[in-house]
């Protein structure tokens, strides 16, 4: 069975969510055909959508009603919920398949990891060919009608090329790497870049580690600003700012610095949502996944984070960034013990169901 739907409306020239040229979406045909196999429950129907735009065929997305696409309506314009999904949520799939899946989930944005380890886009390869890597990624994102929501730079473990390394030579190497990935981010037209804040080096006081982190991060904020990119850091377990008060202090002592906020790192420590909430006003990006005490990642059933409260706080604060669904699959703190696809769908549907 084949169904053809002709579209007559043409969105404005600012519509970036098409793979059909530089401007808006041209008149075209959307062909909807059943797909026999896909990433979904076997009893649900999956529809693969192709859009032909003035003779140019472009793979668009997977639409599922009652399956991957969900039954929840989009949030209205009173709270413009912009959802993204991390590509490193699905590390065992080829990157093209990951992007296909994210498009099939009906999610607007993609957080792309550029890590020294365990990412689809490997840091060494990207750093060697900034232009080529940016061109390749941009085309893949554009062809699927997605948007780049964030480029997440992690050189290795928490100490590797940390911005507050006590050794001047290592800090210089860290800055050089940052500049290269900053260029990659700008060439991809990504609006946002995330890094790590650094660690507390045991041979010195916490105060000194924090001050050095602040100095270097202030420089990174300005460098990113020069190319139209917002730079933030993610407070996390084992970082120089492992608790909300310390994270807020770093922001206040660092001009222009914002946060990529993941409640799970604090929930893991038994810190209540109310103590984390003040950090929302300093956040330019948000990562969402279930968590509970002693588990930085947990199933939706075990989750103790009040995401409805989070969204209402975001509305009150006029938050304009993405909410990125960011389950990971790594052998650290039991983070490979949930079904990432199912949990992503459950959390996505819940976030869309919240009445604001």
Q: Return the number of other C-beta atoms located less than 10 Å from residue 85's C-beta.
A: 29
Instruction: Report the alpha-carbon distance of residue 342 to residue 352 in Å, rounded.
Output: 16
For β-strands 121-122 and 109-115, DSSP reports them as parallel
Instruction: Report the alpha-carbon distance of residue 253 to residue 305 in Å, rounded.
Output: 28
Instruction: Report the alpha-carbon distance of residue 280 to residue 238 in Å, rounded.
Output: 21
Evaluate if residue 40 carries a pLDDT over 80.
no
| Residues linked to residue 52 through DSSP beta bridges, in sequence order | 29, 57
- Residue-wise pLDDT for 179-211, tens only, equals 999 999 999 999 999 999 999 999 999 999 999
Q: Give percent of the chain with pLDDT exceeding 70.
A: 77
pLDDT at site 118: 81
What is the arithmetic mean of pLDDT over 313-318? 98
Work out the mean pLDDT of the chain and round it to a whole number. Answer: 83
- Residue-wise pLDDT for 250-259, tens only, equals 999 999 999 9
- Residue-wise pLDDT for 65-96, tens only, equals 334 544 444 444 456 899 999 999 999 999 99
- Residue-wise pLDDT for 148-163, tens only, equals 999 999 999 999 999 9
What is the arithmetic mean of pLDDT over 169-181? 98
Report whether 117 contacts 157 (CB < 8 A): no
Provide the Cα torsion 262, 236, 335, 112; round to 10°: 60
What is the arithmetic mean of pLDDT over 28-56? 35
- What's the fold here for domain 82-353? TIM Barrel (3.20.20)
| Nearest residue to 86 (alpha-carbon basis) of 335, 322, 342 | 322
Range(s) within the chain of domains with CATH label 3.20.20.150:
82-353
Any idea which residue has 């003040």 for tokens?
A: 278
| Nearest residue to 173 (alpha-carbon basis) of 183, 161, 164, 165 | 161
Instruction: Report the alpha-carbon distance of residue 136 to residue 54 in Å, rounded.
Output: 23
Strands (E), 130-257: 147-154, 192-195, 230-233
């Amino acid at each position: 069975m084949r169904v053809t739907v002709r579209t007559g409306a043409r969105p404005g020239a600012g519509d970036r969510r098409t793979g059909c040229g530089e401007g808006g979406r041209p008149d075209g045909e959307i062909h909807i055909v059943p797909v026999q196999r896909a990433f979904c429950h076997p009893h649900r129907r999956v529809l693969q959508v192709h859009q032909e735009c003035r003779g140019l065929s472009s793979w668009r997305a997977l639409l599922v009603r009652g399956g991957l696409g969900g039954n929840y309506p989009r949030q209205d314009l009173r709270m413009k919920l912009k959802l993204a999904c991390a590509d490193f949520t699905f590390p065992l799939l080829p990157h093209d398949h990951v992007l296909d899946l994210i498009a099939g989930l009906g999610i607007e944005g993609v957080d792309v990891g550029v890590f020294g380890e365990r990412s689809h886009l490997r840091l060494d390869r990207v750093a060697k060919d900034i232009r080529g890597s940016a061109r390749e990624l941009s085309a893949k994102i554009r062809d699927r009608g997605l948007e780049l929501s964030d480029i997440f730079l992690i050189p290795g473990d928490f100490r590797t090329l940390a911005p507050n390394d006590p050794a001047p030579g290592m800090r210089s190497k860290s800055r050089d790497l940052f500049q290269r990935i900053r260029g990659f981010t700008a060439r991809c037209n990504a609006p946002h870049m995330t890094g790590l804040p650094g660690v507390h080096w045991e041979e010195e006081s916490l105060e000194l580690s924090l001050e050095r982190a602040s100095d270097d991060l202030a420089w990174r904020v300005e460098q990113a600003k020069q190319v139209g990119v917002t730079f933030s850091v993610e407070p996390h377990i084992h970082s120089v700012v492992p608790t909300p008060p310390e994270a807020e202090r770093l922001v206040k002592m660092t001009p222009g610095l914002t946060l990529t906020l993941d409640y799970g790192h604090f929930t893991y420590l038994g810190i209540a949502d109310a103590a984390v909430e003040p950090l929302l006003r300093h956040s330019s990006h948000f990562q969402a996944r279930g968590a509970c005490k002693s588990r930085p990642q947990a199933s939706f059933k075990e989750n103790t984070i009040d995401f409805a409260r989070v969204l209402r706080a975001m509305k009150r604060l006029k938050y304009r960034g993405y909410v990125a669904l960011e389950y990971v699959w790594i052998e650290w703190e039991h983070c490979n013990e949930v079904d990432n696809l199912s949990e992503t769908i459950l959390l996505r549907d819940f976030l869309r169901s919240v009445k604001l």
